[in-house]
Amino acid sequence: MYPPKPESTYPPATATGVPVSSADQYYAPSGPAAFQVYSQAPGPWSTGLCECFDDCSNCLITCFCPCITFGQIAEIVDKGSTSCGASGALYALIMWVTGCGCLYSCFYRSKLRAQYSLQESPCNDCLVHCCCETCALCQEYRELKRRGFDMVIDSDN
């Protein structure tokens, strides 16, 4: 059930914690050869779901063209592996063909929550996006902005 005890020289006495298997678990030495796993409990969102008017310009953009806000969120959540334009265009295509862009965007809400250890509130991610798509996108945008991300679209890319 427990892994074998490591040699007494490992980990070094200065170790403070190293990620283990997921973003919310860490081990920290409690003695020269013992390890403990700590799980970081999910925290609250920085703003509520219906606080869209905290950022009126984003609220208007998201109401009239949600693909822009979604593209910005997706680029950051994917850590730059997808571009804002490509993600926004795919969202717009899914929305145009199926009318259910929320089925695509809810997965990004789940990824965002996992990356920043946020609570699944007020309900399931897909339900939030299916019932309140605009509010959900605005909340995710505000969360990233408050975490220090530059939400300005750069035309040089």
Q: Is 16:35 a contact under the CB 8 Å cutoff?
A: no
> Per residue in 140-151, pLDDT tens?
999 999 998 888
* Of residues 51, 55, 13, 53, the one with CA closest to residue 34: 13
The stretch 18-30 carries a mean pLDDT of 50
Q: Is-contact 137 72, C-beta < 8 A? A: no
Q: Are 51 and 136 in contact (CB under 8 A)?
A: no
Surface-to-core class of residue 126, CB atoms within 10 Å of its CB (0-12 exposed, 13-18 middle, 19+ buried):
middle
Alpha-carbon distance of 58 to 122, in angstroms, equals: 21
Supply the pLDDT for residue 92. Answer: 95
Residue 155 has pLDDT above 50, yes or no: yes
Q: Which stretches within 21-149 are classed as H helix?
A: 56-64, 66-77, 84-98, 102-116, 125-131, 133-146
- State the Cα–Cα distance between residues 95 and 66, nearest whole angstrom: 10
